[in-house]
Structure 1
Amino acid sequence: MLDRRDLAILDLLQRDAEMPVYRIAEAVSLSASACSRRIAELKRLGYIRRTVAVLDREKLGLGLTVFVIVRAQHSADWLERFRTVLADTPEVLECHRLTGQADYILKLAVRDIANYDTVYKALIARLAIQDVSAHISMEVIKDALAVPLR
């Protein structure tokens, strides 16, 4: 069970994974070595899945975000192909299986509409899809990575 210090450590790390251990330790009233051991244990237990750098997609020329709604052909074989195609498509950042009328929503990072069209054509060439609709993000209102730990 996580205690208040563990939650505080996780909160600090999810906001800045490069924060030095001694600073985290000061913030949670622990010694640096005790804090380091707690962080190692949080990793071992899977609370910290991985540490990554969050890149500026705009600066990298991938500033267009497209949400793609997919209605699927339902079969176990189709689902396996779908998973493989998504794994092979780096522009797909996220995929969620949904309840309701749509089956999946994909979040894509692309250069422009032409780049999206290329990705779209590659998807439909490899998969039998009942329906696809795209929604282009006009503005990012909130883009949080930190999960609520209250």
Structure 2
Amino acid sequence: MDVKILDLLQNDAELSVGEIASRVGLSSTPCWRRIQRLKDEKVITRQVALLDPHKVQVGVTVFVSVRTSTHTQEWFERFRATVQAIPEVMEFYRMSGDVDYLLRVVVPDIAAYDKVYKRLTDGTQLHDVSSSFAMEELKLTTALPLGYV
């Protein structure tokens, strides 16, 4: 039952409790209690509005691969603070393999990305920064697969 509720909420968080209850075969009060429990247990961490990046002038996506030759905690804290201070960075991951860090950046154009690049490289010492511009978005979802629950 919880998986059905989560699936519905991932696709439309604006559904009313009554609508969710109807779709999963519960009455409203037990459905509301389940949703509250999922929030209390931090399964549902937040509800947000998803914006069209083109309509807010950030339709260019750039994937930035970063390699460093320094791996101290002090360096990492400075790098993390630098990245977190750049609002155009939407995602930031520490990686295994040849790349140390991967960022997903959204900007309106190449000139705006150049400013992000300069902020990134001015903030910390990096060994290599490689940028790849997404040519076409083929799949984008915020819904997690629930088949493992």
* TM-score tier (shorter): over 0.9
Counterpart mapping for 1:51-130 below 5 A: 51-72=47-68, 73-130=70-127
1:140 Cα offset (Å): 0.3
Cα distance in 2 for residues equivalent to 1:87 and 1:106: 11
Cα distance in 2 for residues equivalent to 1:85 and 1:135: 20
Matching residue within 13, 17, 21 for 1:17:
13
1:18 corresponds to which letter in structure 2? E
Instruction: Describe the SS at the equivalent of 1:129.
Output: coil
1:7 Cα offset (Å): 0.5
Counterpart mapping for 1:16-35 below 5 A: 16-35=12-31
- Deviations, residues 66-125 of structure 1 (Å, cap 9, x unaligned): 000000221111110111111111000001111111101100010100000001011111
Identity of aligned residues (%): 48
1:12 Cα offset (Å): 0.3
Cα distance in 1 for residues equivalent to 2:50 and 2:96: 29
* Regions of 4+ moved over 2 Å: none
1:19 Cα offset (Å): 0.7
Cα distance in 2 for residues equivalent to 1:114 and 1:74: 30
Cα distance in 2 for residues equivalent to 1:10 and 1:84: 33
Q: Does 1:38 align with 2:37?
A: no
Aligned partner of 1:139 in structure 2 is: 136
Q: Compute the TM-score of the two structures, normalised by the length of structure 1.
A: 0.95
Cα distance in 2 for residues equivalent to 1:82 and 1:37: 42
Q: Compute the TM-score of the two structures, normalised by the length of structure 2.
A: 0.96
Structural RMSD (CA) = 0.7
Q: Which runs of 5+ in 1 are unaligned?
A: none
